[in-house]
């Protein structure tokens, strides 16, 4: 069975040494988020993850959720409810939520760290509270005062959970095809009718009430995505004064049978004239839902990071223990019948790939979390706008790259186990199965690529990219004469120049042929992700060298950075070459010829 031990040393290095969050939090007005408090929160979350959630991971996979077709009830795996009750009792549901509604108002950057540990400990369980955070954000930004008072407090307290109801059988990404209807009932409520699919935590036994945020069309709605409104539809009816009434006309019609995250309830939800309230302005629901969706996308990116970290931890342990064959240069452990597989270059290649992508990815994700805080709380409007521009640019990179790297790393880790990786008892195949979904929900990798290329780069004229390139240039200039960093500064500056030139070339070609956008998007996403990680690895080495940490720790950072720059960063060459080939290799073949 796979185990989980939170990588607190690297988490603290990322937060305190590299991102220097204590100073940032003080500047942003989070006076209580000092280093001592942050470390105490991390320690307590570690105990919860290692002692309560991680032991339930295998149980959830084996048992899955149970669905009663007659009643529509969903029962979670053994131990899930008790763990959730403990989670609520500890106040974890409101860790980053506003204090006026019962939250602790800790920075979002700390919430990201906690999410990583919880996801790594038990991804399926983590999905139940995941979308409550998104529901809180959507209602906090777009809800009426009474909706905030009535719905936010129990969501933040964890006594209710939230969902996001977008997808329907005939529409996934293209929400313009949405059919769910909202009919005014004449009493400031609406009757919601329609079917939603793939609804995470749509029904369960962890709480009495579930708050569904539902996209639907009003009778006078225009066609397409411009005619979508957002409604809050609780499982148990709730009056405007907060009084809880009878069961609403919303019911789980089925649960999906999935290749992974078996302990997470993925539901078909049927709304049959269910009572709901309009959130925000009519026909402006998509904008409100994106507030929730962007929160969820960062969260899912962190899921990929968490799974990759757990997979690496277990593969490294196994590689040290598994005796098999001898090193090519001669025995390393002559007293043993064989050497551990850790001496084999190809095993080290897989392990170092995992280490480089997870530790670099951790900084990418945590930095994005800190931008959420800066975008909301920075002292002046230009600073808030700059943070928001960069956050918008990084969100599809975090979601797209970290989940795909999570998929890659869990595959490498399973491979390190050889045939044993294929055996369920070792737990590695579960991590690989669970990781696969992260590249799909909350927008597939292709959707993230199109968002980065089409919206964040072309429509918004690369505002976020300019901020990131400025960060790279500032770092390279600061360390231009540092001989100890020369092996990283030169290649990083060169790649930043290539990134800028590549972006300009795509934009120019897209003005003549719009197909360039879709043809380049996937490779542009990963080109961007690899250059972003190169920056964080170079910065990690600089910070580690200047720190008081052990020589072993410093050497680990430097050698992993060297591996990254020599073995992973060159992937950008392939991505650039593919982009240069244009859309013709994709579009020149006829649809009929695909069958031949």
Report, as residue numbers or ranges, the catalytic residues.
Answer: 442
User: Which pLDDT belongs to residue 549?
Assistant: 97
Of the chain, the percentage scoring pLDDT greater than 70 comes to 100
Quick: pLDDT tens for 106-131.
999 999 999 999 999 999 999 999 88
Map residue 9 onto helix, strand or coil.
Answer: helix
Quick: pLDDT tens for 138-193.
999 999 999 999 999 999 999 999 999 999 998 877 777 899 999 999 999 999 99
User: Which pLDDT belongs to residue 163?
Assistant: 96
Angle, alpha carbons 512-513-515 (nearest 5°) = 160
Which stretches within 451-485 are classed as H helix? 463-478
249, 272 in Cβ contact below 8 A?
Answer: yes
Residue 39 has pLDDT above 90, yes or no: yes
3-state helix, strand, coil in the chain (%, to 5): 65, 10, 25
pLDDT (average), residues 285-300: 85
Map residue 569 onto helix, strand or coil.
Answer: coil
CA separation for the pair 196, 512 (Å, rounded): 39
In this structure, is residue 370 part of a structural domain? Answer: no
In this structure, is residue 520 part of a structural domain? Answer: yes
**Number of Cα atoms under 13 Å in the Cβ half of residue 184:** 8
Beta-strand relationship, 209-216 and 160-165: parallel
User: Which pLDDT belongs to residue 511?
Assistant: 94
In this structure, is residue 228 part of a structural domain? Answer: no
User: Which pLDDT belongs to residue 299?
Assistant: 94
In this structure, is residue 527 part of a structural domain? Answer: yes
pLDDT confidence band for 87 (50 / 70 / 90): very high
Q: Which domain holds residue 559?
A: 453-586
User: Which pLDDT belongs to residue 441?
Assistant: 92
In this structure, is residue 280 part of a structural domain? Answer: no
Quick: pLDDT tens for 371-380.
999 999 999 9
pLDDT confidence band for 591 (50 / 70 / 90): very high
Q: For 182-193, give the secondary structure using H, E and C.
A: EEECCCCCEEEE
209, 243 in Cβ contact below 8 A?
Answer: no
Long-range CB pairs of 465-469 (<8 Å, 24+ gap) are 465/393, 465/499, 465/500, 465/503, 465/528, 467/386, 467/389, 467/390, 467/393, 468/390, 468/393, 468/394, 468/532, 468/535, 469/496, 469/499, 469/500
Residue 533 has pLDDT above 90, yes or no: yes
User: Which pLDDT belongs to residue 91?
Assistant: 95
User: Which pLDDT belongs to residue 290?
Assistant: 80
In this structure, is residue 85 part of a structural domain? Answer: no
In this structure, is residue 536 part of a structural domain? Answer: yes
Quick: pLDDT tens for 425-462.
999 999 999 999 999 999 999 999 999 999 999 999 99
Number of domains into which the chain is organized: 1
| Of the listed ranges 204-218, 276-290, 486-500, 551-565, the one predicted with least confidence | 276-290
In this structure, is residue 91 part of a structural domain? Answer: no
| Of the listed ranges 18-32, 283-297, 525-539, the one predicted with least confidence | 283-297
């Amino acid at each position: 069975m796979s185990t989980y031990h939170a990588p607190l040393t690297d988490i603290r290095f990322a937060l305190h040494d590299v991102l220097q969050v204590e100073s940032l939090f003080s500047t942003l007005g989070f006076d209580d988020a000092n280093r001592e408090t942050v470390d105490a929160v991390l320690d307590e979350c570690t105990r919860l993850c290692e002692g309560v959630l991680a032991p339930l991971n295998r149980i959830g996979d084996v048992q899955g959720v149970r669905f009663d077709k007659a009643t529509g009830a969903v029962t979670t795996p053994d131990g899930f409810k008790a763990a959730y009750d403990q989670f609520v009792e500890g106040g974890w549901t409101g860790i980053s939520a506003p204090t006026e509604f019962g939250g602790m108002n800790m920075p979002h950057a700390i919430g990201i760290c906690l999410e990583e540990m919880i996801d790594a400990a038990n991804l399926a369980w983590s999905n139940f509270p995941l979308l409550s955070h998104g529901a809180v954000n959507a209602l906090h930004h777009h809800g009426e005062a009474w909706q905030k008072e009535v719905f936010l407090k129990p969501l933040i307290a964890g006594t209710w959970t939230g969902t996001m109801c977008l997808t329907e059988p005939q529409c996934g990404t293209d929400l313009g095809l949405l059919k769910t209807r909202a009919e005014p009932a004449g009493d400031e409520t609406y009757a919601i009718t329609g079917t939603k699919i793939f609804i995470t935590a749509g029904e369960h036994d962890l709480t009495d009430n579930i708050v569904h945020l539902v996209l639907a069309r009003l009778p006078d709605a225009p066609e397409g995505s411009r005619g979508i409104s957002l409604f809050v539809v609780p499982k148990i009816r709730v009056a405007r004064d907060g009084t809880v009434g009878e069961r609403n006309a919303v019911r789980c019609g089925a649960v999906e049978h999935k290749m992974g995250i078996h302990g997470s309830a993925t539901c078909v939800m049927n709304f049959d004239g269910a009572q709901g309230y309009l959130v925000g302005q009519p026909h402006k629901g998509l904008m409100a839902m994106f507030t929730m969706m962007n929160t969820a996308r960062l969260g899912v990116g962190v899921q990929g990071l968490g799974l990759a970290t757990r997979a690496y931890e277990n593969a490294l342990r196994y590689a040290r223990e598994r005796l098999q064959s001898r090193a090519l240069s001669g025995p390393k452990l002559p007293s043993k019948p064989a050497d551990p597989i850790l001496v084999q270059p190809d095993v080290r290649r897989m392990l170092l790939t995992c280490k480089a992508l997870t530790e670099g990815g951790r900084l990418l994700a945590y930095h994005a979390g800190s931008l959420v805080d800066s975008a909301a709380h920075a002292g002046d409007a230009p600073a808030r706008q700059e943070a928001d521009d960069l956050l918008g640019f990084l969100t599809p990179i975090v979601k797209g790259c970290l989940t795909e790297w999570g998929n890659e790393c869990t595959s490498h880790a399973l491979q390190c186990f050889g045939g044993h990786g294929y055996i369920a008892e070792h737990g590695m195949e579960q991590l690989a199965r669970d990781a696969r979904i992260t590249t799909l929900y909350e927008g597939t990798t292709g959707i993230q690529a199109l968002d980065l290329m089409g919206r964040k780069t072309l429509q918004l004229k690369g505002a976020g990219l300019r901020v990131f390139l400025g960060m790279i240039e500032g770092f390279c200039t600061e360390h231009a004469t540092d001989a100890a960093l020369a092996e990283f500064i030169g290649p990083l500056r060169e790649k930043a120049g290539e990134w800028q030139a590549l972006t300009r070339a795509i934009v120019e070609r897209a003005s003549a042929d719009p197909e360039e956008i879709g043809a380049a998007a996937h490779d542009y996403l990963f080109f961007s992700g690899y250059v972003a990680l190169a920056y964080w690895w170079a910065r990690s080495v600089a910070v580690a060298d200047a720190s008081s940490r052990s020589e072993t720790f410093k050497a680990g950072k430097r050698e992993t950075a060297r591996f990254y720059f020599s073995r992973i960063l060159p992937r950008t060459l392939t991505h650039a070459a593919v982009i240069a080939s244009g859309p013709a290799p994709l579009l020149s073949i006829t649809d009929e010829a695909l069958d031949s």
